[in-house]
Amino acid sequence: MDSKSTKKRDLSKYFLPDIRQARKRIKKADIIKDGFEIPANIINYGEGKTYHIKTFGCQSNLRDTEVMMGMLELIGYEYNEDVNTSDLVLLNTCAVREHAESKVFADIGILDRIKKSNPNFIFGVCGCMAQEEAVVNRILKSNFNVDFIFGTHNVHRILNLLEQVIFEKNLVVEVWSHEGNVIENLPSKRTNNLKGFVNVMYGCDKFCTYCIVPMTRGKIRSRRKEDILDEVHQMISEGYKEVTLIGQNVNSYGIDFDNGENYLFNNLLEDVAKTGIERVRFTTSNPWNFTRSIVDTMKKYPNIMPHIHLPIQSGDETILKKMNRPMKIGDYIDLVDYIRANIPNCSITTDLIVGFPNETKEQFNKTLELYKRIEFDNAFTFIYSKRDGTVAAIIPDEIPLSEKKERLQELNEMVKTFSKKNNEKYVNKVLDVLVDGPSKKDKTVISGYSPQWKVVNFTGSAKSGEIVKVLITSASRFTLNGKMID
Beginning with the edge strand found earlier in the chain, give each strand of the sheet holding 195-199 in spatial order: 195-199, 242-246, 279-283
Please state the φ and ψ torsions of residue 180, each to the nearest 5 degrees: -10, 110
Indicate which single residue of 71, 122, 125, 128 sits in contact with ligand F3S (rule: CB under 6 A): 128
Answer yes or no whether residue 220 interacts with ligand SF4 by CB under 6 A: no
Q: Which is nearer to ligand SF4, 314 or 378 (CB)?
A: 314
In the three-class reduction of DSSP (H, G, I as helix; E, B as strand; rest coil), residue 236 is classed as helix
Please state the φ and ψ torsions of residue 364, each to the nearest 5 degrees: -60, -40
Q: Which is nearer to ligand F3S, 154 or 447 (CB)?
A: 154
Binding segment for ligand SF4 among 60-68, 78-86, 177-185, 209-217 (CB under 6 A)? 209-217
Indicate which single residue of 36, 52, 61, 446 sits in contact with ligand F3S (rule: CB under 6 A): 61
Answer yes or no whether residue 382 interacts with ligand SAH by CB under 6 A: yes
Among 204, 299, 297, 207, which Cα is nearest to 252's?
Answer: 204
Whether the Cβ atoms of residue 141 and residue 119 lie closer than 8 Å to each other: no
What does 97 bind: ligand SF4, ligand F3S, ligand SAH, none (CB cut-off 5 to 8 Å by kind)?
Answer: ligand SAH
Among 156, 76, 172, which Cα is nearest to 122's?
Answer: 172
Tell me how far, at minimum, the Cβ of 384 lies from ligand SAH, in Å: 5
What does 95 bind: ligand F3S, ligand SAH, ligand SF4, none (CB cut-off 5 to 8 Å by kind)?
Answer: ligand F3S
Q: Which is nearer to ligand F3S, 94 or 273 (CB)?
A: 94
Q: Report the site for ligand F3S in 209-238 (rule: CB under 6 A).
A: 212-213, 216-217
Tell me how far, at minimum, the Cβ of 57 lies from ligand F3S, in Å: 3
Indicate which single residue of 249, 252, 419, 422 sits in contact with ligand SAH (rule: CB under 6 A): 249
Q: Which is nearer to ligand SAH, 193 or 291 (CB)?
A: 291
Tell me how far, at minimum, the Cβ of 321 lies from ligand SAH, in Å: 16
Question: Can you tell me the distance from the alpha carbon of 247 to that of 298, in angstroms, rounded to the nearest whole number?
Answer: 18
Answer yes or no whether residue 58 interacts with ligand F3S by CB under 6 A: yes
> What string marks each residue from 152 to 171 as x (binds ligand SF4 by CB under 6 A) or -?
--------------------
**Cis before 93 (ω within 30):** no
Answer yes or no whether residue 56 interacts with ligand SAH by CB under 6 A: no
Whether the Cβ atoms of residue 197 and residue 246 lie closer than 8 Å to each other: yes
Whether the Cβ atoms of residue 22 and residue 177 lie closer than 8 Å to each other: yes
Answer yes or no whether residue 131 interacts with ligand SAH by CB under 6 A: no
Among 432, 420, 422, 440, which Cα is nearest to 469's?
Answer: 432
Enter the DSSP assignment of 15. B
Answer yes or no whether residue 214 interacts with ligand SF4 by CB under 6 A: yes
**Sign for the pseudo-dihedral over CA of 279, 285, 287, 288:** negative
Q: Which is nearer to ligand SF4, 252 or 423 (CB)?
A: 252
Tell me, by CB under 6 A, how many residues bind ligand SF4: 10
CA angle at residue 175 from 173 to 181, to 5 degrees? 140
Residue nearest to ligand F3S (CB): 57
Q: Which is nearer to ligand SAH, 96 or 414 (CB)?
A: 96
Distance in Å from the first CA to the final CA of the chain: 59
Question: Can you tell me the distance from the alpha carbon of 217 to that of 248, in angstroms, rounded to the nearest whole number?
Answer: 9
Answer yes or no whether residue 93 interacts with ligand SF4 by CB under 6 A: no
- Alpha-carbon distance values, 214 to 64, 252, 310, 326 (Å): 17, 13, 19, 17
Which residues here bind ligand SF4, judged by CB under 6 A?
204, 206-208, 211, 213-214, 248-249, 286
